[in-house]
Amino acid sequence: MTETLETVPEVGRARRRKEDTRLVTGRTRWTDNIQLPGMLYVAFLRSPMAHARITRVDVSAARRRPGVVAAFSGRDFADEQGSLPCAWPVTEDMVQPDHPPMAVDTVRYVGEAVACVVATDRYRAADALEAIEVEYEPLPPVLDMNEALKPGSPKVHEAGNKAFTWKFSNGDVEAAFRDAPVVIDRRYRQQRLIPSAMEPRAVVVDTDGETFTLYSATQIPHILRVMLALTTGIPEHRLRVIAPDVGGGFGSKLQVTAEEVLCLLICRRLGKPVKWTESRTEGNLTVHHGRDQLQHIEIAAERDGRIRGIRVNLLADMGAYLMLVTPGVPLLGAFMYNGIYKMDAYDFTCTGVFTTKMPTDAYRGAGRPEATYALERAMDELAHELGLDPIELRRRNWIKHEEFPYTTIAGLTYDSGNYEAATEKALALFGYDKLRAEQADRRERKDPVQLGIGVSTYTEMCGLAPSRVLGSLSYGAGGWEHADVRVLPTGKVEVVTGSSPHGQGHETAWSQIVADQLGVPFEDVTVIHGDTASSHKGMDTYGSRSLAVGGIAIVRACEKVREKAKRIAAHLLEASPDDIEFDRGVFRVRGTQTGKTIQEIALATFAAHNLPDGVEPRLDASATFDPENFSFPHGTHLCAVEVDTETGAVKIRSYVAVDDVGTVVNPLIVEGQVHGGIAQGIGQALFEEAVYDPEGNLLTTTMADYLLPSAADLPDFVTDRTETPATSNPLGVKGVGEAGTIASTPAVVNAIVDALRPYGVHDVPMPCTPERVWRAVQEGAAS
């Protein structure tokens, strides 16, 4: 063993990533790279109408086009396509309409598939779409949630436009608001977003006539396999799902899509391998969208700033159908509108509304960014109302570090945290007082470029999730995660993880964990994932769960391996297992230098010549970990913006993030997650919006119309950490995938509003484009 291994734990090291080798050399395996002998290409014809009855579909001319092997309409699949699943019936009376993967009678959003062509290459498949004839009888689009809920509104579904109303209440909210010295009453709009993973979706399906192998750019190969089996009737054991290298997801690939089901059915029907890869326009139209809520938040407070209670009323746009976790997304926010603050009463109501738009579903943060935005914006309004510094207001309300574990008004028990420490560190890095002085100076000078400072102190519930809690919320599955750890004859280690990554660096981080747990070199560990044939059991990657749940499954499996090895070592050393101690890869007889390395034990186990009675010749173990609680990362983000009051242009001058994600396995990966999360949150604050016109056509169908932040739009981020270990798992980890996105959107908008307070501005609707900022200044000045 090397000196390094003996002295420096792997957990905490900034290891460069193992997965980079293939990614920087172009040897990656994206789904669209796959070419199989005789493979056919699928292209979908999509509805140009937001809402219409389909009166006729004729694919016969398309079938005669060169290179075309088959063409199908929705009616061709009507008997076998089933309904796309929604796994989260949030209330007993939730309206859950049938969701045919290909529309048969009615289309309910622009982009819904109505027919398809299967051809020998992708160009011919696209050509033949032109030959399909479809006749529609237009129905009125339903685009505005408030209008949709009015009696007499056109209906998206026969059962009406309300999907559900879900309520939560704790404490006496009426009393909290009755005679409250201060009430803040605000409405915010969470605009609709397009997740925009860089890799477009792609599906390849192959069959040997008996079994089916489906490759998909998905976050959830395991969930997908179960759901496809239930949807299509293909038995689960004859269906293998592979997520090869997946180019980003951010929740958008946490879905069971129409195209996955249809490609499977087409492959079954034709007995040939098929491939479909979306264009970016198809992606913008039909990858599920994110956010889209109308938020009404009220805070009742004392004059000293202490919060008495919070009342929240949401309308959440479901779009045309309920997809995998569509109705659950706003509910993930239900437990977060109290944030890091103490209060006596809380009331939450959410109504899910159908519209004739693409369905919404999980997008990075899923419900928690929305909650944090409304809360942190309203906290700044309260601070302004009371003439308090926004940091001071938060300080007066947050849970103090000595008060953990703390059960919140929303019913969650936050296990650990130190909001004071993270905030102090952030203030120092940011130079808060100096920036406030500059702001005062610019206000004094009436500088046309004003400086604004935005504060966001957030927490989130992640590490999804304790299965029992998910059950109590009517979610359709558990929240455990699985791992297998196998020590090979030569002492190298294979780890099979059920958490299927798409950029998070599992291969590296999991190797670090195993290296410490088994005392083997980092280089000696390989990580297998994303294929239901080699990784039979998993709950996949979303909700910042991989490390906090999947990582712990690995720790547990390693513990079992060590226990087995200890028995074998004791036998080989002729000692009692109780006298064997494990120290960085060596099993020693206590108090002696006599020992066996784990590699020696692996070889001895393989030979199996001299094992203790009753011990199987294998040095491997499995573990499935179900967390007892969520984890609760937190942090303080500070943003300084310069706002040109004459043009409305916003420039982010500096951005400081101090996050507490518990124990850090790899600081490089953590910092990367924070950077990317902040950028996405800034995207929502400044640039991004999925826009539908009054007819229900999506206007932002390309990356030229839907603006993602580029390198030129963003500053360098200053990031740092505090480390308050989680107490709910043995590594002390909390998860980091969503934190940046949750924190940054309110930090940026708070900064813009802060800059414009002297102009009478109290809000700028997102995205805060120059035009919107300029209009806010004009309207503020006029009022």
Partner 1 sequence: MPQITVTVDGITHEVEVEPRLLLVHLLRDRLGKTGTPIGCDTSNCGACTVLMDGKSVKSCSVLAVQADQSDILTIEGLSTDGTWHPLQKAFHEEHALQCGYCTPGMIMASLDLLRENPAPDDDAIRKGLEGNLCRCTGYCNIVRAVRRAAAEMSGREVSAT
Residue 245 binds partner 1 (CB under 8 A): yes
Q: Which two tokens stand for residue 24?
A: 């920087």
| Beta-carbon contacts of residue 711 (< 8 Å; ≥ 6 apart) | none
Mask for 738-767, x = binds partner 1 (CB under 8 A): --x---------------------------
Q: How far apart are CA 473 and CA 424, in angstroms?
A: 37
Closer to partner 1 at the Cβ: 196 or 457?
196
Q: How far apart are CA 703 and CA 196, in angstroms?
A: 9
197: contact with partner 1 by CB under 8 A: yes
Distance from chain centroid for Cα 722: 23
Report CA dihedral (526, 529, 534, 536) to the nearest 10 degrees: 130
Determine phi and psi for 744, rounding to 5 degrees.
Answer: -80, -30
Tell me the site size for partner 1, rule CB under 8 A.
58
CB nearer to partner 1: pick between 175 and 703 = 703
Kindly state whether residue 677 participates in binding partner 1, applying the rule CB under 8 A: yes
Rule CB under 8 A: is residue 680 a binding residue for partner 1? Answer: yes
Concatenated DSSP letters of 39-82: -EEEEEEE-S-SSEEEEEEE-HHHHTSTTEEEEEEHHHHTTT--
By CB neighbour count within 10 A (0-12 exposed, 13-18 middle, 19+ buried), where does 687 fall? middle
| Closer residue to partner 1 in complex, CB, 282/481 | 282
Piece in contact with partner 1 (CB under 8 A), picked from 115-123, 257-265, 516-524, 613-621: 115-123
Query: Which listed residue (79, 92, 150, 198) binds partner 1 by CB under 8 A?
Result: 198
Q: Which stretch binds partner 1 (CB under 8 A): 178-186, 266-274, 352-360, 669-677?
A: 669-677
* 685 lies in the binding site for partner 1 (CB under 8 A): no
Among 122, 269, 436, 757, binds partner 1 (CB under 8 A): 122
Q: Choose, by CB under 8 A, the member of 10, 32, 317, 370 that binds partner 1.
A: 32
Q: CB of 506: closest distance to partner 1 in angstroms?
A: 11
Q: Does 37 bind partner 1 (CB under 8 A)?
A: no
| Closer residue to partner 1 (CB): 159 or 699 | 699
Stretch that binds partner 1, among 145-153, 462-470, 602-610, 709-717 (CB under 8 A): 709-717
Locus of tokens 């075309």: 68
The residue range among 96-104, 241-249, 346-354, 462-470 that interacts with partner 1, by the rule CB under 8 A, is: 241-249
Q: Can you give the length of the chain in residues?
A: 783
Per CB under 8 A, 35 contacts partner 1:
yes
Is residue 251 a contact point for partner 1 (CB under 8 A)? no
Stretch that binds partner 1, among 121-129, 266-274, 593-601, 625-633 (CB under 8 A): 121-129
Pick 76 or 507: Cβ nearer partner 1: 507
Among the listed residues 80, 105, 121, 583, the single contact to partner 1 using CB under 8 A: 121
Listing DSSP states for 685-720 in one string gives: III----B-TTS-BS--STTTSPPPPGGG--PPEEE
Q: How many CB atoms lie within 10 A of CB 302?
A: 13
Task: Tell which positions 199-218 bind partner 1, by CB under 8 A.
Answer: 199-200
Q: In the structure encoding, which two tokens stand for residue 370, read together?
A: 């929305």
138 preceded by cis ω (within 30°)?
no
| Minimum CB distance to partner 1, residue 348 (Å) | 31
668 near partner 1, rule: CB under 8 A = yes
Print the binding letters for residues 144-183 with partner 1: x by CB under 8 A, - otherwise.
----------------------------------------
Span near partner 1 by CB under 8 A; candidates 460-468, 528-536, 549-557, 713-721: 713-721
Give CA separation, 194 vs 197, 321, 354, 704, in Å: 9, 17, 18, 13
From start to end of 157-218, where are the E strands?
A: 162-170, 182-193, 202-207, 212-216
Those residues whose C-beta lies under 8 Å from the C-beta of residue 135, and which sit 6 or more positions away, are: 54, 55, 56, 57
Q: Which of 246, 307, 586, 777 binds partner 1 (CB under 8 A)?
A: 246
Q: How far is the CB of 661 from partner 1 (least distance, A)?
A: 16
H or E stretch including 22?
Answer: helix 20-25
686 lies in the binding site for partner 1 (CB under 8 A): no
Task: Report the nearest approach of partner 1 to the CB of residue 714 (Å).
Answer: 6
Query: Closest CB to partner 1 among 712 and 782?
Result: 712
Do 611 and 605 touch, CB atoms closer than 8 A? yes
In a 13 Å sphere around the CA of 17, the CA atoms on its Cβ side amount to 16
Cα–Cα distance between 254 and 542 in angstroms, integer?
Answer: 7
Pattern of binders to partner 1 over 489-508, x per CB under 8 A? -------------xxxx---
Rounded distance, CA 49 to CA 136, Å? 8
Q: Say if residues 233 and 81 touch (Cβ distance below 8 Å).
A: no
Cis peptide bond prior to 489, omega within 30° of 0: no
Q: Is 710 in the site for partner 1 (CB under 8 A)?
A: yes
CB–CB of 670/664 below 8 Å? yes
The reply to whether 248 sits near partner 1 by the rule CB under 8 A is yes
Read out DSSP for 186-202?
EEEEEEEE----SSPPE
- Is 446 in a helix, a strand, or coil? coil
Question: Can you read off the two tokens belonging to residue 743?
Answer: 């924190």
8 Å CB contact between 655 and 678: yes
Q: Is 587 in the site for partner 1 (CB under 8 A)?
A: no
66 is a site residue for partner 1 (CB under 8 A): no
The verdict on 20 binding partner 1 (CB under 8 A) reads yes
Indicate the SS3 state at residue 468: helix
Tell me if 669 contacts partner 1 by CB under 8 A. Answer: yes
Regarding 10 and contact with partner 1 (CB under 8 A), the answer is no
Residue 772 engages partner 1 in binding (rule: CB under 8 A) = no
Pick one of 8, 23, 428, 691: the residue that binds partner 1 (CB under 8 A): 23
Per-residue x/- track, 74-113, partner 1 (CB under 8 A): ----------------------------------------
C-beta of 21 vs 169, nearer to partner 1: 21
Give 82 or 244: the residue with its C-beta nearer to partner 1. 244
Pick 231 or 504: Cβ nearer partner 1: 504
E strands, 710-775, are 718-721
Element (H, E) at 308: strand 307-319
280 binds partner 1 (CB under 8 A): yes
Q: Give least dist CB 741 to partner 1, A.
A: 10
Please report, for residues 204, 529, 556, 623, the alpha-carbon distance to residue 537 in angstroms, rounded to integers and kept in the order given.
22, 10, 16, 10
Contacts with partner 1, residue ranges (CB under 8 A): 16-17, 19-28, 30, 32-33, 35, 121-123, 196-200, 245-248, 250, 279-281, 502-505, 668-669, 671-673, 675-680, 702-704, 708, 710-712, 714, 716-717, 740
